[in-house]
Amino acid sequence: MESAPLRPKDMALLLLASGDLLPRQRARDQQADISGSALKARILNELVWLDPEPVQMEVALEQIIALLGEPSGPTRAVAVSVLEEWHAACASPQFVEWLLAQAVQEGLAPTEGRRRGRKNRQIPASPDSGAIGSH
């Protein structure tokens, strides 16, 4: 039996739950990282709300870019990265499995006394880490 194609909503939920949006701990100003993560979260939440058909992913992202308004450059750049992740997820079941594992790990991590960031967490390498830009 063939599995149903991944829906954009499902990928967006996996990305939101995976901890991908948590800033890494760095010794520099992270305002740009935080702003980019917030913008990505808004785009992903809009994808969840729109729940487009897989063939309508690009159209949905264009709608989200228009909805979020000016300046559209940063929104368009983040939307392109979401589209690249979408293509990777569609092409690689291993990438989807990795995202699911990240979401489960993030859900199991203790929240009290934990600093935000990824420095001390053991995160398995993405099977397609070369296919996707660094985050």
Residue type (1 letter), 70: E
Asked, for residue 121, whether it belongs to a domain, the answer is: no
Task: Judge whether 74 and 67 are in contact, CB under 8 Å.
Answer: no
Asked, for residue 73, whether it belongs to a domain, the answer is: yes
pLDDT grade, residue 123 (50/70/90)?
very low
Q: pTM, whole model, 2 decimals?
A: 0.70
6-50 tens-digit pLDDT: 899 999 999 888 876 555 555 566 666 678 888 999 999 999 999
Asked, for residue 63, whether it belongs to a domain, the answer is: yes
Asked, for residue 133, whether it belongs to a domain, the answer is: no
Please give the tally of structural domains in the chain. Answer: 1
Asked, for residue 135, whether it belongs to a domain, the answer is: no
Distance between CA atoms of residues 126 and 87, nearest Å: 15
Look at residue 27 in the predicted model and tell me its pLDDT: 58
Asked, for residue 56, whether it belongs to a domain, the answer is: yes
Residue 75, SS3 per DSSP: helix
Q: What's the domain range around 102?
A: 8-22+30-107
Among the listed residues 85, 96, 130, the one whose alpha carbon sits nearest the alpha carbon of residue 5 = 96
Asked, for residue 118, whether it belongs to a domain, the answer is: no
56-102 tens-digit pLDDT: 999 999 999 999 999 889 999 999 999 999 999 999 989 889 888 88
Tokens of 49: 């709300």
Q: Is the dihedral of CA 67, 70, 76, 82 positive or negative?
A: negative
- Is the pLDDT score of 1 beyond 60? no
Tell me the residue length of the chain: 135
Q: How high is the mean pLDDT of the chain? A: 77
Answer with the residue of higher pLDDT: 71 or 106. Answer: 71
Mean pLDDT of 102-113: 67
Look at residue 5 in the predicted model and tell me its pLDDT: 78
Asked, for residue 125, whether it belongs to a domain, the answer is: no
Answer with the residue of higher pLDDT: 124 or 92. Answer: 92
Is omega for the bond preceding 52 within 30 degrees of 0, making it cis? no
